[in-house]
Amino acid sequence: MSETALSRAIREAVNLSGLAVVWRAQAGRVRVAGGWMRLAPPGMPDLVGYLSDGTGRFVAIEVKVPGHRTDRSRRGTQQAWRERIAQAGGVALEVESAAQAVREVGGAWRR
């Protein structure tokens, strides 16, 4: 399964669960009139949103395709993002499946 398909499946499962509302954080850069525009900063998690438990806490989900490797420098940047989000009181996850994402987002309700 591609990362795009897995990301979509995770987004749909989390949103259907009612535990959180998440959407894709577009990364990279796009051509605009007069040059280029950078979207999300490097390392930003793939999916972002908020818990639906009444707290509205920030949720960030990094999607990883099982068996695929991320280069060391990019992995470090992604880890730093998750650490900063968690330190600020948000929910920061790295998941490999829709079931894992729903389970871990559900666990955040109890924290």
Percent of the chain with pLDDT over 70: 98
The CATH number of residue 28's host domain is: 3.40.1350.10
CA distances from 3 to 7, 16, 43, 84, 97 (A): 6, 20, 15, 24, 10
pLDDT in tens, 85-97: 999 999 999 999 9
Helix (H, G, I), strand (E, B) or coil at 15: helix
What is the extent of the structural domain holding 58? 3-109
The tens digit of pLDDT for each residue in 52-105 reads 999 999 999 999 999 888 888 889 999 999 999 999 999 999 999 999 999 999
pTM: 0.90
Indicate the number of domains in the chain.
1
